[in-house]
Amino acid sequence: MSRTLSVLGANAREAAESLRRARLRTVLGLVGIMIGISSVIAMVSLGEIAREQARKQFEALGTDIVIVRKGQGGRVRAIALADAVQLAAAVPSITEAAPRISGRGQFEFAGRKVGRGAIQGVTRSFASVNRLSLQAGRFVSDLDTDRYYAVIGAEVADAMRGGRAVDSLLGGIVEVDEALFTVAGVLDRKQEGYALPVRVKADKSVFIPITTSQRIAPEPGVEVIVARSAAGVHYETAVRDIRSWFRKRAPGLSLDIVTAKQLIAQMESQMGIFTLLLGAVGSISLIVGGIGIMNIMLVSVAERRVEIAIRRALGARQRDIRSQFLIESVILTVTGGALGVLLGLAATWAICRFTDWEFLVSGLSVASGLGTAAAVGLFFGFQPAHQASRLDPIAGLQGK
Partner 1 sequence: MLRLADVRRSYRVGPVTAEVLRGVDLEVGAGDLLSIMGPSGSGKTTLMNIIGLLDRPSSGACLLDGRDVAGLRDDELSALRNRHIGFVFQSFHLLPQLTALENVCLPLVYRGMARPEMRRRAAAVLESVGMAERTGHRPDQLSGGQKQRVAIARALVGEPALLLADEPTGALDTDTAAEVMGLIRRLNAERGITVLIITHDPSVAGQCARQTRIQGGRLFEPGAAAPSRA
Q: Decide if residue 310 touches partner 1 (CB under 8 A).
A: yes
Applying CB under 8 A, among 306, 327, 338, 375 the residue interacting with partner 1 is: 306
Applying CB under 8 A, among 307, 323, 327, 352 the residue interacting with partner 1 is: 307
**Least Å from the CB of residue 393 to partner 1:** 5
Nearer to partner 1, 147 or 386 (CB): 386
Question: Considering only 125-133, 302-310, 365-373, 379-387, which stretch makes contact with partner 1 by CB under 8 A?
Answer: 302-310
Applying CB under 8 A, among 7, 24, 346, 394 the residue interacting with partner 1 is: 394
Applying CB under 8 A, among 50, 316, 330, 341 the residue interacting with partner 1 is: 316
Applying CB under 8 A, among 231, 314, 354, 363 the residue interacting with partner 1 is: 314
Nearer to partner 1, 24 or 313 (CB): 313
Applying CB under 8 A, among 70, 124, 228, 311 the residue interacting with partner 1 is: 311
Q: Decide if residue 331 touches partner 1 (CB under 8 A).
A: no
**Least Å from the CB of residue 374 to partner 1:** 23
Nearer to partner 1, 133 or 398 (CB): 398
Residues 170-209 contacting partner 1, CB under 8 A: none
**Least Å from the CB of residue 396 to partner 1:** 10
Nearer to partner 1, 22 or 284 (CB): 22
Question: Considering only 21-29, 134-142, 248-256, 312-320, which stretch makes contact with partner 1 by CB under 8 A?
Answer: 312-320
Specify burial of residue 378 (Cβ count, 10 A radius: 0-12, 13-18, 19+). middle
Gyration radius from the chain CA atoms: 33
Q: Which residue type, as a one-letter code, is found at position 23?
A: R
Q: Decide if residue 234 touches partner 1 (CB under 8 A).
A: no
Q: Decide if residue 317 touches partner 1 (CB under 8 A).
A: yes
Nearer to partner 1, 108 or 307 (CB): 307
**Least Å from the CB of residue 24 to partner 1:** 22
**Least Å from the CB of residue 15 to partner 1:** 17
Nearer to partner 1, 142 or 392 (CB): 392
Q: Decide if residue 15 touches partner 1 (CB under 8 A).
A: no
Applying CB under 8 A, among 318, 358, 364, 400 the residue interacting with partner 1 is: 318
CB 337 within 8 A of CB 32: no
Q: Decide if residue 320 touches partner 1 (CB under 8 A).
A: yes
Applying CB under 8 A, among 11, 168, 270, 398 the residue interacting with partner 1 is: 398
Nearer to partner 1, 203 or 328 (CB): 328
- Cα dist from 337 to 72, 205, 274, 284, 327, whole Å: 48, 46, 21, 15, 15
**Least Å from the CB of residue 390 to partner 1:** 10
Q: Decide if residue 312 touches partner 1 (CB under 8 A).
A: yes
- Residues near 27 by beta carbon (within 8 Å), at least 6 away in sequence: none
Q: Decide if residue 247 touches partner 1 (CB under 8 A).
A: no
- As beta bridge partners, residue 97 has 227
CB atoms within 10 A of CB 219: 15
Number of residues near partner 1 (by CB under 8 A): 18
Q: Among 33, 43, 29, which residue's Cα sits nearest to residue 280?
A: 43
Q: Which residue type, as a one-letter code, is found at position 295?
A: N
**C-alpha angle with apex 317: 311 to 320, nearest 5 degrees?**
80
| Residues that bind partner 1 in the complex, under the rule CB under 8 A | 306-307, 310-320, 393-394, 397-399
